[in-house]
Amino acid sequence: MDLDDTAARLGVPVEDVERVHRLAGDRPSAPLSARADAPAILDRLAVRPDDAAEIMAGWPDDDSPLWTPELRWLLDRSIALVRADLGGYGWLPPGPELPRERGSAWRHLYVYAYLALLDAVRGYHRDHGIADAVSWATLADLGRNLAIDRRMQREGWPVMQSWLTLHARGGLYELGRLQHQRGGTALDLHIPEAGPLTPEAVAASLDEARAFFPRHFPDEHYTAFACGSWLLDPQLLEYLPDDSNIVRFQRMFELAPYEEPEGLDADVEVLRFVFRTLTTPLDQLPRRTVLQRAVVDHLSAGRHWQVRRGHFPI
């Protein structure tokens, strides 16, 4: 492949294509399941019917006119790039952000990569004795994020490309209310959109993790739970009542000194998660909940939110 020509045809910087070429090399890719099997798989992954219809419409059949040589190359090499790091738990962008308005093949290329990696990651799960129920609950985050992206009018998905490679490599597991990411000596906690963050649900998930990781990853030794999130911003205490779920979650953690996160705008992240929009003016955002009012009032006053990191012993 001529990388400059490929980048031009994809409409992305050549450095992004060179990165995929370098990391994927000539490593093996993985095939997609048969088209006939795809609807049942998408249903298992909690993909909504409207999203599933789009995915099926853009399916990369051999004779599909939607799939140009450069798109097929990127799909093949992004699968190889992620598969080469099976078992990894760091953030791993699978490829460049594509101009998704060009059609379903462009919009969902990394969804097809995720689907092609299912057999590999489920084999990894089985090798570690992980139950099917945990495996599918974890991988079904695909459907959740596609639904969020649709609600955000396509503002959400590119941010989630790197996120979902954690699931596709066996680096993250959904155990009850929380998702737990392997790595180092701490399990990183993530909070999916899955109902109230009650102390009881949090405690049950932490207890499950305390048993899960020693059983399935006995060579990894974790001493703490950790989290990096705007939910740990102490400024929230100015607005939320002491008995709110967010405040009680926040108070579990010992905060690290504040450091400005590289490449992450906390104000954007708060808007993304609280309102699922990045373009609605502040004075048009809903104010139905205490949290919504807090976010709007804080930003309207010219103040900014922070992403904070904290931890507590396992």
Over residues 86-139, the pLDDT tens digits come to 999 999 999 999 988 899 999 999 999 999 999 999 999 999 999 999 999 999
CA distance 222 to 305: 30
CA distance 101 to 106: 8
> 285 pLDDT exceeds 90?
yes
CA separation (Å) from 126 to 3, 66, 83, 136, 258? Answer: 38, 35, 16, 12, 40
DSSP 278: S
Over residues 35-62, the pLDDT tens digits come to 999 999 999 999 999 999 999 999 999 9
CA separation (Å) from 74 to 106, 112, 201? Answer: 10, 11, 40
Q: What pLDDT does residue 159 have? A: 66
Please name the amino acid found at residue 260.
E
Tell me if 54 sits within 8 A of 104, measured CB to CB: yes
For 41, half-sphere exposure in the C-beta direction (CA atoms, 13 angstrom radius) is 19
pTM (2 d.p.) = 0.94
Radius of gyration over every alpha carbon of the chain, rounded to an integer in angstroms? 20
Cβ–Cβ contacts within 10 Å for residue 246, how many? 22
What percent of the chain has pLDDT above 90?
A: 92
**The two structure tokens encoding residue 16:** 């992004």
CA distance 152 to 276: 5
Cβ–Cβ contacts within 10 Å for residue 293, how many? 14
Over residues 152-204, the pLDDT tens digits come to 988 777 667 889 999 999 999 999 999 999 999 999 999 999 989 999 999 99
Q: What pLDDT does residue 177 have? A: 98
CA distance 70 to 14: 13
Of 262, 202, 254, give the one whose Cα is nearest residue 232. Answer: 254
Over residues 68-89, mean pLDDT: 97
Cβ–Cβ contacts within 10 Å for residue 92, how many? 20
* 3-state DSSP helix/strand/coil % of the chain, to nearest 5: 55, 10, 40
- Return the HEC string of 129-168: CCCHHHHHHHHCHHHHHHHHHHHCCCCCHHHHHHHHHHHH
CA distance 209 to 201: 12
Over residues 169-178, the pLDDT tens digits come to 999 999 999 9
With cut-offs at 50, 70 and 90, classify the pLDDT of residue 263: confident
**What is the rounded average pLDDT for all residues in the chain?**
95
